[in-house]
Amino acid sequence: QVQLVESGGGLVQAGGSLRLSCAASGRTFSSYPMAWFRQAPGKEREFVSRITRTGVLTYYADSVKGRFTISRDNAKNTVYLQMNSLKPEDTAIYYCAADTYFRGGYSTTSDYWGQGTQVTVSS
């Protein structure tokens, strides 16, 4: 089992940037494909991005492609989400997630979840 703790959320103006971090417990972090999801008020949770175990392959939702970058540091048991050119519609709680197996780059589910971090983008 893995425990995930997100950080880095906050309030930012439209056009600004934030970097989310997700620290994972355990010694098998490198065995998990990792993902970010988000949930806006009144909306269902949606896939944002995923990265494979080694970080060679990355996947993005169309709504964030070209603006967000996912990365990971297996030595630090951490996955990141660099968010640039933020828009008010990016406002949501962002969740880090770990997959026990690779179920596809755009899978809308995962196995282990963090508690989430709030991102608010003002116009």
Per-residue pLDDT reduced to its tens digit, 39-89: 999 999 999 999 999 999 999 999 999 999 999 999 999 999 999 999 999
- HEC sequence for the chain: CCCEEEECCEEEECCCCEEEEEEECCCCHHHCCEEEEEECCCCCCEEEEEECCCCCCEEECCCCCCCEEEEEECCCCEEEEEECCCCHHHCEEEEEEECCCCCCCCCCCCCEECCCEEEEEEC
Q: What is the mean pLDDT of the chain?
A: 96
pLDDT category at 26 given cuts 50, 70, 90 is confident
Is residue 9 predicted with pLDDT exceeding 80? Answer: yes
